[in-house]
A and B are shown apart, each in its own frame.
Chain A
Amino acid sequence: MQISGRAWKFGDDIDTDLIIPGHYLSVHDPAELGKHCMEGADPAFASKVQEGDVIVAGRNFGCGSSREHAPLALKSCGVEAVIACSFARIFFRNAINIGLLVYECEDAYLNTNPGDVITIDPELGIIRDVTTGAEFKAATYPPLVAGIIQAGGLVPYVRAKLGN
């Protein structure tokens, strides 16, 4: 499966309150959360983003709370993958667990522009900026984490472990 979509660029330290503010946390319906996605950083984001788009951000993406509502909101409003220089660790785990693709790649952050068309080969971690022709390689996952991704997230992974 190849990912292809437009790049939405954000800076460093995009926190979970920007991704989905705390007062929405009494809800966990992904569709409802998606409507408010990135509201704190760009109030119109949810209405502009299209299925398959990619977020490209700086350091420490997803810092702050452990709320899984954050990756759920991103996935539900159409974001296919997040590429960042680095991730806050809980966000990173949550994203892997729910099947939102996350790639650590500083080169991609430094050398792409908002709106560029980005493709990702998820198996190899190869990121291409189709608009400029540039190509980048994301950091690889540890084997156990790759196993969870391959299983399609933690739910199928645990199901298999439980023998279901």
Chain B
Amino acid sequence: MAMTITEKILAAHAGKEEVRPGEIVQVRPDLLMTNDVSGPIAVDVFRSMGADHVFDRDRIFIVLDHFTPNKDMKAAKASSEMREFAKEHNITHFYDAGFGIEHVILPESGLIRPGDLVIGADSHTVTYGGLGAFSTGVGSTDLAGAMALGEIWLKVPETIRFEFVGKPGRWIGGKDLILLAIGKVGVSGALYCAMEFGGEAVRSLGVDDRLTMCNMAIEAGAKSGIVEPDSTTIEWLRAAAGVAGAGSLPLLRSDEGCNYKAVITLDVTDMEPQVAAPHLPSNVKSVSELKDVDIHQVVIGSCTNGRISDLRTAAAILKGRRVNKWVRTIVIPGSQQVYKQALAEGLIDVFVEAGAVVSCSTCGPCFGGHMGALDAGERCVSTTNRNFVGRMGHETSEVYLSGPQVAAASAIAGHIAHPEEV
């Protein structure tokens, strides 16, 4: 039977020849992940399940990134609970403050390979589809059960194929493509489905941009996002993630004649950078439609756009310029590895000289957690992934989602701007 790449990965992890959409399967994940928000609940639940050991201490990532370095005493307590659990169970991959955001660290670790299955107690676990893995988010209780049993049930999703045709222009990145797709289908347009991104425009993108695209699959309600792995994936795994034998990894693809729920074709020729206006990621407009919107803050970072190529894009625009006097500009490298690379390339100098604040790697303002909270009525252009009411602070504040190119240009202009404008 012809299968999609998603069906193939689920079948392999369920120990079956084939699976069909709608079928419920028990799978054994390659990796599990939790953090300082979902983790403390997962730990409590794990104990109340009567579990005394984790299924495999080498396959669990615990990343403290949301409120770290600890924002306040409550956050400090949550982090302590996770540290204790990590010590008690001798968790190999425990990453405290000083490492970075989970969805940036995990791909860099080299431990996620094409065809893997990853379950994380965070909705943006979908990110790893950018490497050709199946990955999806669950809540704390599910994660606790998986830590205890080493298995979890999943419903095999239907797949919607997004075919991006045409050659993306100079200012177009993965963020613009995914916003275009979410704008097209809406925030529940891919509910319970796998979004498979393909076509020449996606193949021309680097892995950083593919991770950005899959990161936001959840914003269309999807269970997962995926890009079929290719030579770009292999090269990235070798160079950026230090996977020595990357060249010999099998590359799964969707079969000819596989069963898609729908195939949606999107032409990127001549498209403008995209911006999602408040208060839904599907409220997408071309940047020029919003150019009169004055702003108070810019955030460049997060698990969506905090990777090295994002910082390069922003620095290319900010180089030799100053950010607008009335726009606080916060730049957050997604991980310590990204930070180091940005230092080596002189990007951090560019940001500091432009008048931006460069922070340690953390989720911080992305979810209104700490640093960069917005006051009543303030507007922010942010490279993050959600612009729900109150996401970054006061319930009357507004978040506009964009790629790093629009964010950097807007920081200089003081209003939403196309990079050509500055």
Residues of chain A at the chain B interface (Cβ within 8 Å)? 12-13, 15, 17-18, 21-23, 25-28, 40, 59-60, 63-69, 71-72, 86, 88-90, 93-94, 97-98, 142, 144-145, 153-155, 157-159, 161-162, 164
The interface residues of chain A lying within 8 Å CB-to-CB of B320 are none
A23-B390 Cα distance, complex, nearest whole Å: 10
- The 10 A-B residue pairs whose C-beta atoms are closest, nearest first, are A164-B50, A94-B139, A60-B188, A97-B141, A22-B367, A68-B139, A26-B74, A17-B388, A66-B123, A22-B368
* Complex contact A162–B149 (CB within 8 A): yes
* Complex contact A88–B121 (CB within 8 A): no
* Complex contact B140–A68 (CB within 8 A): yes
Determine how close the nearest CB of chain A comes to the CB of B100; give it in whole angstroms.
19
* Complex contact A90–B71 (CB within 8 A): no
A72-B139 Cα distance, complex, nearest whole Å: 11
* Complex contact A159–B38 (CB within 8 A): no
* Complex contact B142–A23 (CB within 8 A): no
* Complex contact A63–B187 (CB within 8 A): yes
A67's contact among B71, B139, B142, B391, by CB below 8 Å, is which?
A: B139
A158's contact among B38, B139, B145, by CB below 8 Å, is which?
A: B145
**Those of B253-272 within 8 Å (CB) of chain A:** none
B192 contacts the other chain (Cβ, under 8 Å)?
yes
Determine how close the nearest CB of chain A comes to the CB of B271; give it in whole angstroms.
26
The interface residues of chain B lying within 8 Å CB-to-CB of A28 are 40-41, 44, 78
13 CB < 8 A contacts A-B:
A17-B389, A17-B390, A21-B368, A26-B369, A40-B390, A66-B125, A68-B41, A68-B139, A88-B188, A89-B221, A89-B223, A90-B137, A164-B50
Main secondary structure of the interface of B (DSSP, over half): loop
The interface residues of chain A lying within 8 Å CB-to-CB of B137 are 66, 90
Determine how close the nearest CB of chain B comes to the CB of A25; give it in whole angstroms.
5
* Complex contact A63–B37 (CB within 8 A): no
Contacts A13-B280, A25-B37 known; list 12 others, CB within 8 Å.
Answer: A15-B386, A18-B388, A28-B78, A40-B389, A59-B188, A60-B187, A66-B125, A88-B188, A93-B138, A93-B139, A158-B148, A162-B50
A25's contact among B144, B369, B386, by CB below 8 Å, is which?
A: B369
A144-B156 Cα distance, complex, nearest whole Å: 14
B51 contacts the other chain (Cβ, under 8 Å)?
yes
B72 contacts the other chain (Cβ, under 8 Å)?
yes
The interface residues of chain B lying within 8 Å CB-to-CB of A98 are 141
B395 contacts the other chain (Cβ, under 8 Å)?
yes
* Complex contact B139–A90 (CB within 8 A): yes
Determine how close the nearest CB of chain B comes to the CB of A31; give it in whole angstroms.
14
A90's contact among B74, B123, B368, B386, by CB below 8 Å, is which?
A: B123
Determine how close the nearest CB of chain B comes to the CB of A155; give it in whole angstroms.
5
Point out which of A17, A26, A67 has the most chain B C-beta atoms below 10 A from its C-beta: A26
A17-B280 Cα distance, complex, nearest whole Å: 12
B248 contacts the other chain (Cβ, under 8 Å)?
no
* Complex contact B369–A23 (CB within 8 A): yes
A125-B141 Cα distance, complex, nearest whole Å: 24
The interface residues of chain B lying within 8 Å CB-to-CB of A142 are 24, 155
The interface residues of chain B lying within 8 Å CB-to-CB of A153 are 141
A27-B141 Cα distance, complex, nearest whole Å: 16
* Complex contact B388–A15 (CB within 8 A): yes
A27-B367 Cα distance, complex, nearest whole Å: 15
Beyond A17-B389, A60-B221, A158-B145, whether A67 also contacts B280 by CB under 8 A is no
* Complex contact B141–A94 (CB within 8 A): yes
The interface residues of chain A lying within 8 Å CB-to-CB of B395 are 40
B121's contact among A17, A59, A66, A72, by CB below 8 Å, is which?
A: A66
A161-B150 Cα distance, complex, nearest whole Å: 12
A23-B149 Cα distance, complex, nearest whole Å: 32
B326 contacts the other chain (Cβ, under 8 Å)?
no
The interface residues of chain B lying within 8 Å CB-to-CB of A88 are 188, 191, 221
* Complex contact B188–A13 (CB within 8 A): yes
B391's contact among A22, A69, A93, A158, by CB below 8 Å, is which?
A: A22
The interface residues of chain B lying within 8 Å CB-to-CB of A15 are 386, 388
Select from chain A the residue with minimum beta-carbon distance to B44. Answer: A28
Select from chain A the residue with minimum beta-carbon distance to B66. Answer: A25
The interface residues of chain B lying within 8 Å CB-to-CB of A155 are 45, 48-49, 141
Beyond A142-B155, A162-B149, whether A86 also contacts B280 by CB under 8 A is no
B12 contacts the other chain (Cβ, under 8 Å)?
no
A89's contact among B121, B192, B386, B389, by CB below 8 Å, is which?
A: B192
Beyond A13-B187, A26-B75, A142-B155, whether A67 also contacts B37 by CB under 8 A is yes
